[in-house]
Structure 1
Amino acid sequence: MAVRGDSRRVVADAEAGVEWTAGFTDPNPTEFPMLWALTPYGDAVFNQRQMPLLPTELDRLPVDLGGDWAEQAREPCQVVERGLHLYPWFIGD
């Protein structure tokens, strides 16, 4: 995960990636609309209106689906919330 500005320049990132366990491959889109948008091979970018939902969904993740990646994703989320014209990018393979 990285935080990029309008110029696509990386301003922050997280080292851990999403752990694509069997339980995480298809989260319920009604419960987790932001996390449901993630795929292991494609990029996902969230805008300012979507951004508040992402940390909330991370908070609701079952323990077995969270882990280092979910904890590390919180810091870039905070960077986005404090800045202007910043976007969280989940980068697939």
Structure 2
Amino acid sequence: ERMSVNTKDRIEKGELVRLSGISLSDLHNWVARGLLPAYCGRYIQGGRGSVYYYPAQALKLAKDIKYWRNQGYTMPEVRKILSEGIEPKWPI
């Protein structure tokens, strides 16, 4: 069984997707749009490919983006909300 690596300053891609409840395509899309930070490191797992790490704050951001999208906001609106530091009203 593969051990999860999650330190206080970074989170492994699989954990980020699992804990935030977003899809891998959402992750890549939101990084490409500049809403989430790009990966900050990777290591090669012998014969099994690379494991990518993202800054730890990406988890909260991903949850926030998902929240605002679920409330019906467009991506440009979400970008504005994030830039203004408006917090989601949890729980939904």
Q: State TM-score, norm by structure 2.
A: 0.27
Q: State TM-score, norm by structure 1.
A: 0.27
Q: Which one scores higher on RCO, CA 8 angstroms, separation ≥ 6?
A: 1
Higher percent of residues as helix? 2
Larger Rg: 2
